[in-house]
A and B are shown apart, each in its own frame.
Chain A
Amino acid sequence: MIVAKRKPIEEIIEEVQAYDKILLVGCNECVTVCEAGGKKEVAVLASALRMHFMNQGKEVKIDEITLERQCDHEYLEELRNQIDQYDVVVSLACGVGVQFMAEKYMNMPVMPGVDTCFMGVTEERGVWSERCQGCGTCMLAKTGGICPVSRCAKRLFNGPCGGSTNGHCEIDKNVICAWQLIIDRMKNLDKLEDYEALVPIKDWSTERAGGPRKVVREDVMQ
């Protein structure tokens, strides 16, 4: 899923300070799972904003809604008939959702309600960590199912750098060295000889370095 975290309330207040009719829009998918932009977080943000404006003695209309997804036309269309009642929208979806909303409702200011961080997993409740950077050419088959692009600070492909200490990365003692994980896993799979083989120099053209990306599937297009 896409992992996001809540934006500091001060930042959101600044985004909406100039407006009187605010719609907060949550998303029922990734950001709900990582507890940053689902129905619950929309409610919490709404109360915080109401409190803020009340203290300021300013009357502001703040409404809440949570869509199934914000990265699909179908769900964003649900706002079509009501969006004109507001003068700003705060989207608590990931950056993808915020942008798609802005593209659809050209005359409506759309503000981000979360900081979008990465593609990752829920390690345990309250702890999310990165697993993939969408490099466009997945090499997990060669690395025991552990991704050196997203999990190695230096994106190394041929074994750890010299900085790995007791299985931890040199950038931070709290980060596990991806290559330690890869080696341990290769050992378990009895595939250490794969680790010893050199990986060909990576083609980064499918990654963000090659410019904004697009996937087109003619077979499913209508």
Chain B
Amino acid sequence: MPLKEKIAAGKFIILGEFEPPKGADFDSFITDANLVKGRVEALVVPEMANAVLKASSLGGCACLEREGIPSVFQVCCRDRNRLALQADILSAAALGVQNIMAVNGVETRFGDHPQTRTVNDLDLIELIETVQTLSQGKDLAGVELKGTPGFSVGSTIDAGAAGNLLDIEMERLEKMLENGVDYVITNPVFDLRRFEQFVKRVDTSKIAVLPTVLLLKSAGMARYIDRNMRGITIPPDTIRRIQKAPDKVQECIRIAAETIKQVKKMGLAGVLISTVGWESKLPSVLNEAQL
């Protein structure tokens, strides 16, 4: 069942984030994914997050679908032109992928291949429009397709935006809605009080908002994110909790689980749990959150 229908049925959606390997060995990717099979609605497979070379999202999705685990295919403006994007989207549909998520992609100069040429043939809104066009049975040249793909369509939104920038995010959300986006995933959320201010601006009856809950690994990581990542604040109490805890890993799991519970209490559609390299700990997060 595509996410859209599950969201409409009022189910609290749990997504996990599973980065494909840097390399051709998908063993642990598949093993870890099977640990949460049936416990998550789908696994989001990032397309070279942070512009670091990895196996593709489509490759990861194909592996997951083969295991009977629903996936979310990420399409990214950065690396492919409109031909390649449309070809991949059609192929994803044929592989059984029912969910798609459009992203801009982090600038290549921040990744591990800064010498490359970025593509950006389509921008984010245009890419979303493209998914919709294909879903209506035509390609961007207006030519009829043999077999129409159907997807639940998602994208991202910056929940940390404030003031003028928040207005811009809302404008973008409007354009996404016009183009049939069903759900948006936010950047990592730690400070729920601040996040509530953002949610108030969104008509959640029209679009499902799924905050990202990031599993921290250490107090150092938390401090780094708080200082350096725009739009993300981590309350000092949270950082202190990790510092003081005898079992720091367990404490991080507990923090993530608490955030998930609070998101659920806020009545939001669901969460994306991001474990960045600690995918094998996802079951513990779900246990702790009683999910």
Contacts and interface: CB of A to CB of B under 8 A. Distances in A.
B266 to A, nearest CB: 22
Interface size range of chain A in the complex: 20 to 34
A201 interface: yes
B156 A162 contact: yes
B118 A154 contact: yes
Interface in B69-108: 77-78, 82, 104, 107
A27 B185 CA distance: 54
Given A155-B120, A170-B107, A202-B126, 4 more contacts: A161-B104, A164-B165, A165-B165, A171-B109
A120 interface: no
A158 B178 contact: no
Nearest to A158: B125
Interface stretch (B3-11, B169-177, B267-275): B169-177
Contacts of B161: 162
Interface string B95-139: 000000000100101000000001011111110011000000000
A10 interface: no
Nearest to B230: A165
A171 B106 CA distance: 9
A162 B123 CA distance: 12
B104 A154 contact: yes
Interface of A: 153-165, 170-171, 179, 183, 195-196, 198, 201-202, 204
A136 to B, nearest CB: 15
Interface residues of B, number: 31
Contact of A171 (B77, B107, B129, B175): B107
B75 to A, nearest CB: 15
B158 interface: yes
Contacts of B82: 201
Contacts of B104: 154, 161-162
A194 to B, nearest CB: 12
B168 A198 contact: no
Contacts of B175: 158-159, 196, 198
A179 B158 CA distance: 16
5 nearest interchain CB pairs?
Answer: A158-B125, A162-B158, A156-B123, A201-B126, A154-B120
B169 A162 contact: yes
A158 B124 contact: yes
